[in-house]
Structure 1
Amino acid sequence: MIEFYPQIKLVHVSAVMLSGSFFALRGLSLLAGLAWPRFAPVRYLSYGIDTVLLTAAMMLLTILPREVYANGWLLVKLGFVASYVVLGILAFRPQRGTGTRVALLSAAVLCFLQAYCIARAHHPAGALYLAGVL
């Protein structure tokens, strides 16, 4: 299966970028008062993208050697991904006020960006490590 690593990683990274971009677009549209981000086909498209993302991630997890995850970066990244998902779910609930929605969407995007930086750096500090702070 390792021979398919480049293709699986490409699918994973593409799905990450598509998922994050689509989330940001939906969030900004919701803040603008548009209704389409809550339509069922839009939600299902988001679920489909995230399913591809998770499937590729699980495939990568099974084919890469355990030494790649030795410093704990993957566990920290998964914590940020879980936070991103929960914050996103809360932000899209209809009963939220604009201020609360902005805070939740902003926090979700920051979690997404930190998870991305952790994945790029393969270090639990993520953005701080990439910036040379650590």
Structure 2
Amino acid sequence: MIEFYPQIKSLHVFLVLLSGALFALRGGAALLDARWPRHTVLRYGSYTIDTFLLTSVAMLATMLPRGMFANGWLAMKLAYVVVYILLGVVAMRPAIPRKTRTFCYLAALATFIGIIGIARLHHPWGWLAPHLS
């Protein structure tokens, strides 16, 4: 299956960007009290994208050698993903006060950027890692 690695990785990166962009648009509009971000098609579309995203993660993880994950970057990335999901859920709840939703929305976006840094640098500190030589 390793022969499909480049295609699966490309799909994974595309799905990450699509998922993040959809959350950013929906979350920002939800903070402005728009109703369209909670539309059933968008909600289930987001779930579908994230399901394919998690499937691609599982496929990539089974293809790569275990030694690649030795420094803990993948564990940190998964922890950040859980935090991102929880913050995103709170940010999208209309019953929660706007200040709390705004904080959670901005924190979720910052967490998303952190996840990208961890993934790109393969370092648990992501963008905050000391200069890698």
**TM > 0.5 fold call:** yes
3-state SS, counterpart of residue 19 of structure 2: helix
Moved more, 45-54 or 89-98: 89-98
RMSD (Å), alpha carbons: 1.5
Q: How does 1:1-134 map to 2 (within 5 A)?
A: 1-129=1-129, 132=131
3-state SS, counterpart of residue 93 of structure 1: coil
- The residue type paired with residue 111 of structure 1 is T
Structure 1 unmatched ranges of 5 or more: none
Same amino acid, percent of matched pairs: 51
Residues in 2 aligned to 1:92 and 1:98: alpha-carbon distance in whole angstroms: 10
Residue deviations 1:94-114 (CA, integer Å, cap 9, x gap): 211211111010111111111
Moved more, 92-101 or 114-123: 92-101
Instruction: Name the count of aligned residue pairs.
Output: 133
Residue deviations 1:35-86 (CA, integer Å, cap 9, x gap): 0111111100000110111000000000110011010000000000000001
- The residue type paired with residue 55 of structure 2 is T
Residues in 2 aligned to 1:126 and 1:43: alpha-carbon distance in whole angstroms: 29
Residues in 2 aligned to 1:111 and 1:79: alpha-carbon distance in whole angstroms: 10
Residues in 1 aligned to 2:32 and 2:89: alpha-carbon distance in whole angstroms: 18
